Amino acid sequence: MKYYEPLENGKIRCLLCRHHCQLKPNQVGICGVNMNKDGKLLNLVYGHPSSINVDPIEKKPLFHFLPNTAVLSFGTVGCNFKCPFCQNWQIAHNHQVNKEIYVSPEQMVQLALEYNAKSIAYTYNEPSIFYPYARDVGILAKEKGLKNVFVTNGFESIYEIEDMKNWVDACNVDLKSFNPEYYKKVLKGDLEYVLDTIKRLKENGIWQEITTLIVPGDNDSEEELTKIAEFIASVGKEIPWHISRFHPDYKTKDKPPTPIETMIKAYEIGKKAGLKYVYLGNVTIPAITYCPKCNEELIVRTIYKVEKNIIEIDEEGKGRCPNCKEIIEGVWK
């Protein structure tokens, strides 16, 4: 993939995300980590992760993707959004690269293998902005039989999405609101581009699950939640919707946590829209995958731990309800 295109007078256009920053010589993009260096795009965080952890895949959250397996998760500094409620703001809204830490793509894949992870997640900050690094890790990971996961705000460029289908197996996309003005003024993004990304991921056959953090007073109206649920259903009723509970953080410490009543209302809205799989996150209530046909309890999760999983997986990797044989969509092996 080409990460940039040359323009006049030594300028370049970055092709990593939908901002398409036009960069003068030595200028850095909105993300803070991609620079025009001698007429080429230099990814300043390449090889310099800010965080590496081994997580349960359920924490991403991905509930229909290799359940009860470990995922090696890493991110860098920087982001192309300015969300005031960011829960990883210490790294996402930080542009100071620690060059004393260097982890090559080969070393990252080796770490995943050593910790018996089944996949690698590009997460914690926005992975589209460290795509050159992520891609090099991911292609090596696939060669070793590992899968790759993007946890993203959905602002990838169309060039990036087209390339992702060659090596990315699953995404969790944040659909943060259905209000275009909120996206532009508060998040510094664009709703239409995010919706387009979700559609393109579906067209490209990349498994995706969608998360909405419900922020009191921002995106918790019945009208807006209905629009979000109905949009997801229009792309695919099999796409799991994770409704995440807000807690005060970063620049939104004046807001209260999301009321449980609002969470339950959102769950009901999702089911009414026809979504097969709706989950509540950041709550102590078990997250249960029910068969959409016979309502059998198939997977029960408490926090991030799988307590029960009775999905039958055939040789082709398709999951089915053991009771009625309904296909349960996901990536199960």
Q: How far is CA 175 from CA 16, 162, 197, 310, in A?
A: 19, 20, 10, 30
Kindly state the average pLDDT of the residues 17-31: 98
Q: Are residues 167 and 223 in the same domain?
A: yes
Q: Which two tokens stand for residue 170?
A: 């699953």
Q: Are residues 292 and 188 in the same domain?
A: no
Tens of pLDDT, residues 123-140: 999 999 999 999 999 999
Residue 325, in any domain of the structure: yes
Contacts of residue 159, Cβ cutoff 8 Å, sequence gap at least 6:
1, 2, 15
Residue 264, in any domain of the structure: yes
The total number of structural domains that make up the chain: 3
Tens of pLDDT, residues 149-207: 999 999 999 999 999 999 999 999 999 999 999 999 999 999 999 999 999 999 999 99
pLDDT more than 70, % of the chain: 100
φ and ψ of 26, to 5 deg: 70, 5
Query: In whole angstroms, what is the distance from residue 163 CA to residue 201 CA?
Result: 11
Domain that holds residue 18: 4-43
The pLDDT assigned to 249 comes to 87
> 146: pLDDT confidence band, cut at 50, 70 and 90?
very high
Residue 263, in any domain of the structure: yes
How many other C-beta atoms can be found within 10 angstroms of the C-beta atom of residue 295? Answer: 11
Tens of pLDDT, residues 258-296: 999 999 999 999 999 999 999 999 999 999 999 999 999
Q: Are residues 128 and 193 in the same domain?
A: yes
User: What's the residue count for the chain?
Assistant: 333
How does the average pLDDT of the chain come out, rounded?
A: 97
Q: Are residues 95 and 204 in the same domain?
A: yes
Residue 92, in any domain of the structure: yes
> 282, 68 in Cβ contact below 8 A?
no
> 147: pLDDT confidence band, cut at 50, 70 and 90?
very high
Query: In whole angstroms, what is the distance from residue 231 CA to residue 237 CA?
Result: 10
The pLDDT assigned to 242 comes to 98
Residue 238, pLDDT > 90, answer yes
